Amino acid sequence: MTGKIPYGGDYNPEQWPRDVWDEDHRLFTRAGIDTLTVGVFSWSLTQPAEETYDFTVLDRVLDRAAAEGRQVCLATGTAALPPWLAKKYPEVNRTDFEGRRHRYGQRHNFCPSSPAYRRLSTAMAGRLAERYADHPALLAWHINNEYGGACYCERCADAFRDWLRDRYATLDALNDAWWTTFWSHRYTDWAEIEPPSALTEHWRGPDHTAFQGITLDYFRCTTDALLGCFLAEKEAIRRYDPETPVTTNFMGMFRPLDYHRWAPHLDFASWDSYPPLDAPPTWPALAHDLMRGLKDGAPFWLMEQTPSTTASRDVNPLRRPGELRLATFQAIAHGADAALYFQMRASRGACEKYHGAVIGHAGRDDTRVFGEVADLGKELGLLGDATLGARTPARTALLFDWDSWWALEISDGPSRLVKYQEVVHTYYRAAREAGADVDVVPQTADLTAYDVVLAPVLHMVKGDLAGRLEAVAARGGSVLTTFLSGRVDAHDRAFLTDVPGPLAPLMGVRVDECDARQSEIAQSIPELGSEARLVFEIVQPRGAEPVATYGGDFYAGTPAVTRNAWGDGEAWYVATALDQPGVDQVIRRILTRHDLLGPYADHPAVETATRVAPDGTRILFVLNHATEAAHLTAPATVTDLLTGKRAEKGAPLALDPLGVAVLRLLS
């Protein structure tokens, strides 16, 4: 699509007079900006009334971009309703979890079941495609923006019932799946079914439900409802533009929507990276790898990141010198083929006026932030197309499953203190800090390419997964799962067999009891010199050998970690929430067996990631997340694509604090 990594971001020139546009493009040239995302929130501008379309401003924006040699990711603008639409068609306003019909305001404010919204949003997408499909600046289509939010109105209730009919066909099948003999809930008519909300099955918020099966299905239905809105707009675009790639921007590890259900319908994945304030570098790395895994390892776009600071949190720290560069190259290292910002010029008013921007309110080009953006633009120019289309040759897979996430966190037991993301990240972090490249994949992924498969808190086991994991071990691979795995089927019904359900034969263990405690109560694991918290499953080996045991309580001396031989391989079961050092030891033992420790495994602050270009060139990214210099040696004969310097294998390789090296491997 391009000759280099697209570089730029969200641009809202409709907020500014034309003389500011002139200055913007001058500054874009200075910063190496070549790609602009436009029209993200322009619906009220381009359609000021139902029968009126006005493309004057968008025409000028795209024509100016083309004249300046820039390309455009054109959004359909349908994530925020224009006021006239909500006034004329009140049905488009959402009904919230508490049963309140909202009035007009904010964004992401539409009911996905609203006929008026569907008709008008698809009409807008079609009009845009008809007008701009052949425009020389058009690079990609950006539908809506950061989809999210559930509605509980009567239209959504009817849509839920229709969705259930399609899924279950009969009420007998639905009643069995939801286990409705409990609490006299057996349904005899589809019309009796209500969406699970604060007015029906829930108390103390969305995660406390009397019937997990109902709530789980509503999560799935909401995912499909919003996906339906996306697909309707994509279809409208395709009537006029059969070729230009179409995407929408995801939000990484975003619990409300199962992105695996969306992935087949995107031409490429893209996402907005705003990691938590105290997150270690492996947190955004996990999200990057999740986005790459959505399209079977194909590159993704970093659609948004801040050049300096966010504005949506109570406290919004500034990115320190060097952090922007490091974060951008981390995204590229993990598969990004574009690096874009929110936002290009700071808004003068409303809730994002203090959000970081490439160009601040004063419009200066001598600020530190602008200088860092410009310097990075030059480096991406030096990189050229070297990484475009490059893939990651990972031999380690981590299973990430939205159904397990949902089912675990809406369960009334054993512990609501266990958080799916946190446990998954603990295992991912251990593998990444040991230097392993990791593919983050769904339960349905083909596992034949992997030597190691990590499946922490795989609460729900679906389809033939258990057999495919057994096949990984049988051919010599290593499989790991943990506490609270293999507990329920696809309907969130407990397996009527020994825990961990379908995974029990492979793991070689049986779990009859599970102790859950408050987070301040720790249990020692002597063999690992570590501690565990929250959940302590009491394991009875059924062929597995103990690797580590509990140090206290009535289950002292019983296994906390086991290993089971299976064919030519092995299966590991971790029965408790080990601390990070404990997980690190287990994961490094597994990776060592397969010779998967990275060249800098003894430097946990030094991140490595490998990409293989379409021509077979191997590129190793080396990222120093420490505030001190890293003194390393070259892992092979290499050339640094950013400096042009060559180093022989074993030669000194120094990285500045927060430094980056992009190494073409020559031997």
Q: Which of 91, 146, 233, 379 is catalytic?
A: 146
What type of residue sits at position 288? H
Cα–Cα dist 245/71, whole Å: 13
- H helices present in 302-401, as ranges: 323-333, 368-383
Residue 304: active-site member:
yes
Cα–Cα dist 331/241, whole Å: 30
Cα–Cα dist 91/7, whole Å: 39
Q: Which helix (H) or strand (E) holds 177?
A: helix 171-178
Backbone angles phi, psi at 365, to 5 degrees: -115, 10
Asked if residue 529 lies in contact with residue 583, where contact means CB atoms within 8 angstroms, the answer is no
Q: Which residue has the tokens 């795989």?
A: 458
What type of residue sits at position 597? L
Residue 352: active-site member:
no
Q: How far is CA 352 from CA 313, 345, 485, 652, in A?
A: 11, 11, 41, 45
Asked if residue 301 lies in contact with residue 341, where contact means CB atoms within 8 angstroms, the answer is no
Cα–Cα dist 426/634, whole Å: 29
Cα-atom radius of gyration of the chain, to the nearest Å? 26
Cα–Cα dist 630/332, whole Å: 21
What pairs with residue 141 in β-bridges? 74, 246
What pairs with residue 93 in β-bridges? 110
Q: Which residues of 284-320 are buried (b: 16+ CB within 10 A; e: fewer)?
A: bbbbbbbbbbbbebbbbbbbbbbbbebeeeeeeeebe
Q: Which of 91, 201, 233, 304 is catalytic?
A: 304
523 preceded by a cis bond (ω within 30 of 0): no
Compute, in degrees rounded to 10, the torsion defined by CA atoms 350, 351, 355, 360.
10
Q: How far is CA 256 from CA 206, 259, 304, 392, 658, in A?
A: 11, 9, 20, 28, 34
- H helices present in 196-333, as ranges: 212-238, 259-262, 282-294, 323-333
CA angle 195, 199, 204 (to 5 degrees): 105
Give the residue numbers annotated as catalytic, written as ranges.
146, 304
